[in-house]
Amino acid sequence: VSTQSTWGITKIQMPSGILQRLLDIVIAVAPTLGYVDQYKVIKNARSIGNFSTDVCAILILANILRIFFWIGNRFDTALLVQSIFMILAQVTPIHYFHKPLQLLLLRTCLQNSPKRQPIVKFSRMFLFFQCLSSAKTIGAFWRWSDYGSYLEFLLCFWVAVGFLSLLFVRVPLFVELLGFASVSIEACLGLPQLLRNYRTKQTEGVSVPLILSWFIGDALKTVYYIAMAQPFQFILCGFVQLIVDIIILGQLKVYGKSTKTKPE
C-alpha cells in the first residue's frame, strides 16, 4: 500500500522488521564515517591541506536547524539520529572499539591550520551592530583563533534557534521556513570545498573516501527521501548535493592529476 505526503509525493511501502532497522542504522550512521578518513588525513599530514573548514560550519548549523525542524515536523527518526551523530562527530570525542579516536574534526582542523594573527575571538565580534558595520568583522566569521570561540558561537546559535522554535513551533510557516533554512545550508555542504579547489587548482589534503561517501550517501539518501515521502525540502537538498558532489569528484580527477605531474 502506498500513501501520499503533504507535497503529493507517493510513499513506497518499505520492508519491515530487521531489514528496516538495518536501513535506518545505515542512514543514521554511514554519513558520519567519511569524516573518519578526513580526520586521519589531517592528523597524518599535520595540515588541513586544501580541506575547507567551512564544511564543518555547514554541517553543524544545518543539523542544528534540522533537529528543531523535527520538533515541528516529525520526519523519519533515523534522519534525526543522523543529525545528532553529525554534530557529535565535529565537536566531541568518539570512542572507536574502546579506543579514543578523538574525532573532533573542527578542533583538529583548527590545530593544524596556519596560526592567525592577530588573534580573533568570537566574543570580539559578538555585538550585532558591530558585525553589520564592519566588513572586516564579518570576514572574520568562522575564522576565530581558539576552539572556545566556536563552541561559544554554536551555543548562542542553539539557544537562539531553540527560543524561536519554542515561540513559533505551532506556526506552520515558521516550521517550513526552518526546514528550508536547514536544507538550504546543507545543500551548500560541498560548495566551499568546490570553490576552494577551483581557486587553488589542487585537492591535496582532501580525503577521496570522504567525497565518495558524500556522493554515495547523497544518492542513497535522496532515494530514501523519495521512497519514504520525506518533506520536499530534503528531496530538493539531495539533488543539489548530488550535483555538487559530481563536480568535486571531477575536480579530484583533474586537479589531482595536475598535482602529481608538477615538477618537484
Instruction: Decide which of 104 and 233 is more confident.
Output: 233
Q: What would the pLDDT profile of 195-215 be if each residue is shown by its tens digit? A: 999 998 888 888 888 889 889
3 and 10 Cβ atoms separated by less than 8 Å: yes
- Which has more confidence, 67 or 97? 67
pLDDT at res. 220: 82
Looking at residue 95, what is its pLDDT?
44
34 Cβ partners below 8 Å, 6+ apart?
207, 209, 210, 211, 212, 213, 214, 217
More confident: 117 or 22: 22
pTM: 0.74
* β-pair partners for 99: 96
Q: How far apart are CA 199 and CA 25, in angstroms?
A: 37
Residue 10 pLDDT > 70 = no
β-sheet bridge partners, residue 4:
10
Residue 264: band (very low, low, confident or very high) from pLDDT cuts 50, 70, 90:
very low
pLDDT at 2: 47
Question: Tens digit of pLDDT for each residue in 112-135?
Answer: 776 654 555 666 555 444 554 444
